[in-house]
Structure 1
Amino acid sequence: MDTKESKYVSYIKERYPQMDISKVECNFTDGMHGDIVIVNEKDVFKFARYDWSAGYIENEVNIIKLIGRDFSIYVPKAEPVEKGIARFNYIKGEPLYRNTLFQLGNRMQEMVAEQLAMFLKQLHSIPLKAERIKNLSECQATMSQEEWLTKFEEIERKVFPYCDSYSKEYYRQIFRPLLQDEKFMDYQPVLIHGDLMPYHIIFNKNTNRISGIIDFGLSGLGDPAYDVGILLDNYGETFVKRMSRYYKSIISYLDRARFYAFVNNLLWAESVSDMLVTRDFTNFRIPAKDRDIMPIGTRWFDIKG
């Protein structure tokens, strides 16, 4: 047991003396902001890795309390322990890997698409009454159209020196809709997950169903297209098209979702360029991605499938 694990386990034993700890699993590498300790495959303790990341854990607890229990997909219960520490109940399963999803039969894929669509539909439809959202912040991914254009200027300065002419034009085309349509990024803010990556979608291979959605640390008010864009980036357009049968609003903001999906890798390239300058590679990761995304502006009835 390493020093960090020992420290966390000692804390849990002291805080919960009645807890009989027979099995401990730790994850100190995957999360960007927190360390995870799983006890007895029953409880998940999340510890802020840095002083500034305690806010993510506090936000996650608040969001889970806000959304309640009435969801088609299970959301873990959350209990604040103290500043920068929270306890959640464990959900059995594994990340919904792209390969896992597309190795399912057609009917099972449809069921998973329906599950995800209904979850997002329910999340994005939560009434945002004043008393419920007074402490709710914007999702960190939320940016105005003007801010996105400023971001592109930064990308041109930081990333383009490492690009060939083809890549530069490819990236310019991603931002072109924002230059041509001043209302391209207009939307009505809703509550979004903000980080709906495959490893936050827990899948049960015995039932071929999603058993839970986790990690609401980045959740807040934002563009519903952003959640769809993350799914688009990881599972592709054909799968998201399936989802639209159950969450029809997806069609109305499909182009924004495509933008978010396309721009995701570009933002990562900007982060890497910053690392090259600072020589700080603490958060460097090699992403695993596939592509099945139509160009912005493509209408689904123009393509087969």
Structure 2
Amino acid sequence: MDNSHIFSLLEDDLNNLNYNLKSMVGARHPILNAASEHLFSAGGKRLRPAIVILIAKATLNKNNILSSHQRLAEITEIIHTASLVHDDVIDECITRRGVNTVHSIFSTKVAVLAGDFLFAQSSWYLANLNNLNVVTTISKVITDFAEGEVRQGLIHFDPTISIDEYIEKSFYKTASLIAASCKGSAMLSEINYHQENQCYLYGKHLGLAYQIIDDILDIISSSSNLGKPIGSDLKNGNLTAPIFFTLIESAELNNMINSEFENESDIKKAITIIKSSNGIKKAKDLAEEHIQTAIHIINYLCHINQDKYHGLVLMGQYILQRIY
């Protein structure tokens, strides 16, 4: 079943978000302004702000969300985009979402400054929400990003790390923002503390599943669908769920990782090994486990209004269907 129609249900909110983003990230310096324009013209599904809006609609129990919810959705997308700019510099990616990355168009220095600028802009708008609890919750995400990148940098080409360490790193790099923005949206709706935490856990498991699925797609998708070269994680030594599960079966893959893919044909050969193993299936099972946990949390909450929370269930199903 195609669950992508969940975005069409949010079309007006997301169109408003896209319009606002361009004015929010405008910079006085023409180079920074051009970099910001380029980033947001690349589009994307706007998954994270869509989740913020869905939480808002569910917890408010009405279709019209507050202006503070809309602003939080915009802040979430700015923070996410800033992290991608820095990720692309670190991973030396040339394309993202099918378009050239900021550092490949301008320079590494401009890309780093553009990412810093977006983080600063998000912090300013966050402070202007005038809600200390939301500020505290969301601002922690920026430190989590940095910790995630440092952790990833320390374990490049290290096949001895555990799946638990991979999950922890995935939380810092991806799930932290989704979890915190879900909780922040619930806070703005002024629901009770227990329900806020349930929204956080929903976002955490959704985010972990999303990262695992991204890591699977890095192996099984095509460059045109992915918007960047396949096997990028593998080439950069970022070991992910499908790789870990394959290592249990393949000594050859282990040897190639230890040698950091020294031969030109190693990456292509490694992808073939992973595809022919049980690694992809086990990674899919792990992603599905996190999606089912997220949906279970929403089903627990939906006694408030089942119809409104159904959108959050559809979002979980949409994320999972990306690999089927």
Shorter-chain TM-score: what band? 0.3 to 0.5
Q: TM-score, normalised by structure 1?
A: 0.35
Q: TM-score, normalised by structure 2?
A: 0.33
**Going by fraction, where is helix more abundant, 1 or 2?**
2
**Going by fraction, where is strand more abundant, 1 or 2?**
1
